[in-house]
């Protein structure tokens, strides 16, 4: 089977499919890693008398569910358009990101409530071995976060970006737990609540990250305009097309990792209908060449009307 021709919808769909496959693979890896770490941290936290580590295990559990949601969202978003969804299933991505962010906020609230309860309840200091567990967790989660962030940058996927920050928030909460446990151990009697204060700080960090991801997902769901650089790229490609005299309007919206463009192009009023149709095709090809993630381009051809100089 021949590969899809460049600058065509099939080529853009193929590129998006590859990016989606890579993102799904890392979501699966994240799912396995989070399940393993959640189990290790929960056992170590209970055995080592550290609520900060137990809270971290809860955060890893939400990461695990989040990775499952991300994977499901990416699978749905990668489906081809059909009669029921002519613009594709790209909205599944920001919906999945919205769900992940909501879970992060819920986890933060639960951890904060339990941390406050633990602060008010006298208990023993954490066991020293919990520090070694946390150190290993921090390294693993930060490496995973960096790799998934690279995948999100390559694909432009908001849900993969959310998953990466979910991993990073886990590394941050583990770091906070490490500091809290270290203070409790070094401070001796009377410093035991430092472990629980660390859990409370971790909850605040998770809440802030969850709120930022929630806002980003909502922007995509509400068709917020992409970055100015993308407008420059699309508008520049259209203006540089031979025969195009001006651009009147340009609208764009994201759909998953892809992009839909609606542009009004002005050309010589004397052009025949056939020539205008050919020119619109050239504009579409130029935009797809400049921005390969473009899934669809709707070109409105209009007569060029220069402004009169008074």
Q: Can you give the pLDDT at residue 97?
A: 81
* Segment 2-6 mean pLDDT: 49
Q: What domains can you pick out in the chain, each with its CATH number?
A: 9-221 (1.20.1510.10), 228-303 (3.30.70.1350)
The whole-number pLDDT of residue 104 equals: 81
Confidence of residue 273 (pLDDT cuts 50, 70, 90): very high
Tell me the longest C-alpha to C-alpha distance in the chain. Answer: 89
pLDDT of residue 17: 58
Provide the pairing of β-strand 294-303 with 246-255.
Answer: unpaired
Instruction: Please state the φ and ψ torsions of residue 251, each to the nearest 5 degrees.
Output: -125, 145
Rounded to two decimals, the pTM is 0.67
Nearest to 43 by CA among 61, 29, 28, 31: 61
Quote the pLDDT of residue 3.
47
Residue from 275, 266, 250, 279 nearest 306 by CA: 266
Please give the pLDDT value at position 155: 67
E strand map for the chain? 246-255, 258-267, 294-303
**What is the per-residue pLDDT across 185-234, written as a single tens digit (0 to 9) for each?**
888 787 878 877 887 887 888 888 788 888 888 888 888 888 888 899 99
Q: State yes or no: pLDDT of 32 exceeds 60.
A: yes
């Amino acid at each position: 089977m021949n590969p899809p021709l460049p600058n065509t919808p099939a080529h853009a769909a193929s590129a998006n499919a590859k990016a989606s496959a890579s993102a799904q693979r890392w979501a699966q890896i994240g799912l396995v890693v989070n399940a393993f770490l959640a189990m290790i941290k929960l056992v170590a936290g209970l055995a080592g008398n550290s609520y900060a580590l137990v809270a971290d295990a809860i955060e890893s559990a939400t990461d695990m569910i989040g990775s499952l949601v991300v994977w499901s969202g990416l699978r749905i978003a990668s489906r081809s358009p059909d009669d029921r969804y002519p613009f594709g299933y790209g909205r599944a991505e920001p919906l999945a990101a919205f769900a992940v962010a909501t879970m992060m906020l819920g986890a933060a609230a639960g951890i904060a409530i339990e941390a406050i309860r633990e602060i008010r309840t006298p208990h023993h200091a954490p066991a020293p071995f919990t520090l070694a567990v946390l150190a290993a967790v921090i390294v693993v989660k930060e490496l995973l976060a960096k790799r998934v962030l690279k995948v999100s940058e390559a694909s432009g996927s908001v849900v993969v970006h959310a998953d990466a920050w979910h991993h990073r928030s886990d590394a941050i909460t583990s770091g906070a737990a490490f500091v809290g446990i270290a203070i409790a151990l070094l401070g001796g009697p009377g410093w035991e609540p430092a472990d629980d204060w660390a859990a409370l700080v971790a909850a605040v960090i998770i809440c802030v990250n969850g709120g930022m991801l929630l806002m980003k997902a909502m922007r995509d769901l509400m068709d917020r305009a992409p970055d100015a650089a993308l407008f420059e790229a699309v508008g520049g490609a259209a203006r540089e097309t031979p025969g195009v005299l001006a651009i009147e309007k340009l609208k764009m919206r994201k759909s998953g990792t892809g992009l839909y463009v609606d542009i009004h192009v002005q050309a010589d009023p004397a052009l025949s209908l056939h020539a205008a149709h050919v020119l619109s095709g050239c504009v579409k090809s130029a935009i797809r060449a400049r921005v390969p993630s473009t899934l669809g381009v709707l070109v409105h051809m209009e007569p060029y009307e220069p402004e009169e100089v008074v």
